Chains A and B, each alone.
Chain A
């Protein structure tokens, strides 16, 4: 069966794009990208994370163009990044030197540097704030001034007792006690998931990169599934830290230490170290960050790091990192192919949404198969009449199904609109 080339729809597509633009401009209040960035910072973070491109202004622009659809905005950013050269790779970001804006531990109450909540909704009442509905520019300025004054005063009262510039890691305490293995830095060149298709088993670097750029809700859903029972994982968040990390690049020709590198700016990230308890030494043997060697129970770390303030995604990533290190194929969340192939937003949205595009020929072939098997089945049953009817033609076979609606898709396949409308009225 060959393909039948069909032309048409050019005018309809043009008008459709105009209609889409009409819908955008009709209700739009002409927000600048600054306003979008300022009003929806976490949505901008989400889009940047999934696009795997830190560019807040462009992410805001993509959201504006996509009329608020994160999927579409991510697609736009990914497409844009593919047009740019990438001559530089940063020095490894050192999250230990993060300027923290928030750092909490679910494992220990008293941690060096303290539990610093930062700006969080964790302990808020989830009640709709109806006053925001009428919040105007003046009121906003007033609130801003009030809060500035409040924090100026609070800072005066607390004196110079700030958050230390470098916050010690919570789990270093357990590393020092030998309950979590001290690991040496492994400087093996990471593999870049954007340069080659996924293949399995995937290197650890590809796994972490794929999870970091995964669709937020997909990573969270699979992480949740792993904890609920589709994977034997229950984490304790040893540490969640959020803040900015510096990005530096070495001189392209000279060799030098970190002090000779170029400072380019900083990016906001969220990092999670989750702790998992292993059954025995064998459990501890999977992945790194664990000790045991048969000595009894052991602790392992699952690692999550994402752009921006995507906390829940970072926790889920740490769960999935642990699951994939474990790699027991009985659990879907420990199956690399299942997790890594399906968390990518552009892949998933692209594949699912292409299903609504014309599949006329594919569907014809499906339809033929169904008709053929029914005809064969009917003949085999000795229903001579049915056998005869089924071979009579399309109209007859559809009537055998008792579902005349089946006619509609095949009617759409007709290249000639007149023929199509005729077929539809059958």
Chain B
């Protein structure tokens, strides 16, 4: 079953209809009286913490605008957090969080597991298409004429990925050996 990170990622990055569908079902099954909004959706800040790679230490990169909401479904309190100002999304995330963390959490999770995984796969496909578009800008050094002529001169072999094995490139030596020049 998906844990909270993957679940919220599917709901935040994926089609908003999915969160709405889950919330609709929670509201219908639990009844209006079981669902209490503890904190109305409101804009807040999250401080983004980063780890630098020179000394491995932590620092604060800056803040990001976010919207939060807190609800209670039955006995369980749920929290909805999302970057930006989408109040509805924050509410929906809070309801889902409460439902999935409560006594019936496992039942809810297993009921929606497949849909959430489908959404994650869709996000993955979208990201992969982006990555493939970006991959078209990958530099292929082996197509440079100067390298081709070098390798032609000394018969440098190419590795399987087409890159020239630099260690094998030798400059053409003059007839007298050219030492000491």
A89 to chain B, nearest CB (A): 5
* A188-B58 CB under 8 A given contacts A85-B44, A86-B46, A247-B83: yes
Closest A-B pairs by Cβ, 9 of them: A288-B55, A265-B83, A55-B65, A52-B62, A289-B54, A54-B64, A205-B59, A86-B45, A301-B54
* A93-B50 CB under 8 A given contacts A116-B137, A261-B4: yes
Whole-angstrom CA separation of A54 from B47 in the bound complex: 10
Report A175-207 CB contacts with B as 1/0, cut-off 8 Å: 000000001111111101110000000001110
* A260-B44 CB under 8 A given contacts A186-B58, A190-B59: no
Would you list 27 pairs from A and B whose C-beta atoms are within 8 A, ordered by A residue? A54-B83, A87-B44, A88-B45, A88-B46, A93-B48, A101-B130, A101-B134, A109-B141, A116-B134, A118-B137, A154-B133, A164-B131, A183-B53, A183-B54, A183-B55, A189-B58, A212-B61, A246-B9, A249-B46, A261-B4, A264-B12, A265-B13, A266-B83, A288-B55, A289-B54, A301-B53, A301-B54
- Find residues 1-27 in chain A having any chain B CB closer than 8 Å to their own CB: none
On whether the beta carbons of B57 and A190 are closer than 8 Å, the reply is yes
Residues from chain B with Cβ under 8 Å of A206 in the complex: 59
Residues from chain B with Cβ under 8 Å of A116 in the complex: 134-135, 137-139
A315 contacts chain B at the CB level, 8 A cutoff: no
Partner of B59, one of A209, A247, A266, A289: A209
* A158-B83 CB under 8 A given contacts A95-B50, A109-B141: no
Q: Which residue of B lies closest to A246 (CB)?
A: B9
- Find residues 36-84 in chain B having any chain A CB closer than 8 Å to their own CB: 43-66, 68, 79, 81-84
Whole-angstrom CA separation of A306 from B62 in the bound complex: 9
On whether the beta carbons of B45 and A117 are closer than 8 Å, the reply is no
Report A304-341 CB contacts with B as 1/0, cut-off 8 Å: 01110000000000000100010000000000000000
On whether the beta carbons of A204 and B63 are closer than 8 Å, the reply is no
Chain B residues touching A, majority SS: mixed
Residues from chain A with Cβ under 8 Å of B49 in the complex: 89-93, 190
Residues from chain B with Cβ under 8 Å of A261 in the complex: 4-5
Q: Which residue of B lies closest to A99 (CB)?
A: B127
Number of A-B contacts (CB under 8 A): 247
Interface size on B, residues (CB 8 A): 56
On whether the beta carbons of A54 and B44 are closer than 8 Å, the reply is no
B3 contacts chain A at the CB level, 8 A cutoff: yes
A213 contacts chain B at the CB level, 8 A cutoff: yes
Residues from chain A with Cβ under 8 Å of B81 in the complex: 88, 249, 262, 264
Partner of A303, one of B45, B54, B84: B54
- Which residues of B pack against A, CB within 8 Å? 3-6, 8-9, 12-13, 43-66, 68, 79, 81-85, 97, 127-139, 141, 163, 166
B161 to chain A, nearest CB (A): 9
A205 to chain B, nearest CB (A): 4
Whole-angstrom CA separation of A57 from B50 in the bound complex: 23
Residues from chain A with Cβ under 8 Å of B136 in the complex: 151, 154-155, 158
On whether the beta carbons of B83 and A264 are closer than 8 Å, the reply is yes
Residues from chain A with Cβ under 8 Å of B51 in the complex: 92-95, 185
* A263-B12 CB under 8 A given contacts A205-B60, A273-B53: yes
* A259-B63 CB under 8 A given contacts A86-B45, A116-B135, A204-B57: no
Report A99-136 CB contacts with B as 1/0, cut-off 8 Å: 11110000001100011111100000000000000000
On whether the beta carbons of A259 and B135 are closer than 8 Å, the reply is no
Whole-angstrom CA separation of A81 from B81 in the bound complex: 18
On whether the beta carbons of B54 and A300 are closer than 8 Å, the reply is yes
- Find residues 23-54 in chain A having any chain B CB closer than 8 Å to their own CB: 48-49, 52-54
Report A386-397 CB contacts with B as 1/0, cut-off 8 Å: 000000000000
Residues from chain B with Cβ under 8 Å of A264 in the complex: 8, 12, 46, 64, 66, 81-83
Residues from chain B with Cβ under 8 Å of A88 in the complex: 44-47, 66, 68, 81
A375 contacts chain B at the CB level, 8 A cutoff: no
* A187-B55 CB under 8 A given contacts A110-B163, A117-B137: no
A207 to chain B, nearest CB (A): 8
On whether the beta carbons of B57 and A247 are closer than 8 Å, the reply is no
Partner of A53, one of B59, B65, B127: B65
A138 contacts chain B at the CB level, 8 A cutoff: no
Excluding A84-B45, A99-B130, A264-B46, 20 further A-B contacts by CB distance (< 8 Å) are A54-B48, A87-B44, A92-B50, A93-B61, A95-B51, A110-B141, A115-B139, A116-B134, A162-B135, A183-B54, A183-B56, A186-B55, A188-B57, A209-B60, A259-B5, A262-B5, A264-B64, A264-B83, A288-B57, A305-B50
A408 contacts chain B at the CB level, 8 A cutoff: no
Report A194-228 CB contacts with B as 1/0, cut-off 8 Å: 10000000001110110011000000000000000
On whether the beta carbons of A247 and B84 are closer than 8 Å, the reply is no
Whole-angstrom CA separation of A165 from B130 in the bound complex: 11
Most chain B beta-carbon contacts within 10 A, residue among A49, A154, A164: A154
Most chain A beta-carbon contacts within 10 A, residue among B8, B66, B84: B66
Whole-angstrom CA separation of A248 from B8 in the bound complex: 10
On whether the beta carbons of B131 and A99 are closer than 8 Å, the reply is yes
Whole-angstrom CA separation of A115 from B69 in the bound complex: 43
Residues from chain B with Cβ under 8 Å of A183 in the complex: 53-56
